[in-house]
Amino acid sequence: MALSALMAAALCILAPLSIPIGPVPITLSVLAIMLMPYLSGMRLSVLAVVLYLALGALGLPVFSGFEGGVQKLVGPTGGFLVGYIPLALIAGLFVDKSDRMPAQLLGLALGLFACYALGTVWLALQMRIDLSAALGAAVLPFLPLDAVKLVTAAVLGPQLKKRLKRSNACGD
pLDDT in the model for residue 169: 61
In a domain, 104, yes or no: yes
Phi, psi of 16 (to 5 degrees): -65, -25
The CATH number covering residue 23 comes to 1.10.1760.20
- Find the domain containing 25 and state its range: 2-166
Q: How many domains would you assign to the chain?
A: 1
d(C-alpha 165, C-alpha 172), whole Å: 8
| pTM of this prediction exceeds 0.85 | yes
CB 138 within 8 A of CB 23: yes
pLDDT surpasses 60 at 113: yes
Q: Would you call 90 exposed, middle or buried from its count of C-beta atoms within 10 A (0-12, 13-18, 19+)?
A: buried
pLDDT on residue 170: 57
Query: Is residue 171 in a domain?
Result: no
For residues 65 and 27, the answer to whether their CB atoms sit within 8 Å is no
Q: Is residue 172 part of a domain?
A: no
pLDDT, one tens digit per residue, over 89-103 is: 999 999 999 999 999
pLDDT tens-digit readout, 2-39: 888 999 999 999 999 999 888 888 999 999 999 999 99
Q: For the packed helices 84-97 and 101-127, what is the interaxial angle rounded to 10 degrees?
A: 170
